[in-house]
């Protein structure tokens, strides 16, 4: 299974994830759930507030 933007989720209605590396498959999964525009907005806000990104950083709840 490869989940990317446009995938229709049928079972879950939220996901907890961290801030992933650009162009990575986990980032594709997160953008499939939230939409790419909203995810980019979240990343911009996280950088502005100096969140720690990537594997050892902060996490987010996407609903």
Q: Cα–Cα distance between 52 and 7 in angstroms, integer?
A: 28
Count how many residues are written for the chain: 63
Regarding pTM above 0.85, the answer is no
Cα 59 → chain centroid: 9
Q: Which two tokens stand for residue 30?
A: 């997160």
pLDDT in tens, the chain (63 residues): 688 888 888 898 999 999 999 889 999 999 999 999 999 999 999 999 999 988 788 999 998
Q: Cα–Cα distance between 43 and 24 in angstroms, integer?
A: 14
């Amino acid at each position: 299974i490869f989940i990317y933007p446009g995938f229709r989720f049928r079972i879950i209605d939220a996901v907890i994830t961290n801030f992933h590396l650009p162009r990575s498959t986990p980032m594709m999964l997160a953008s499939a759930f939230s939409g790419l525009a909203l995810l980019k907005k979240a990343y911009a806000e996280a950088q502005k507030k100096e969140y720690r990104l990537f594997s050892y950083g902060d996490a987010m709840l996407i609903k």
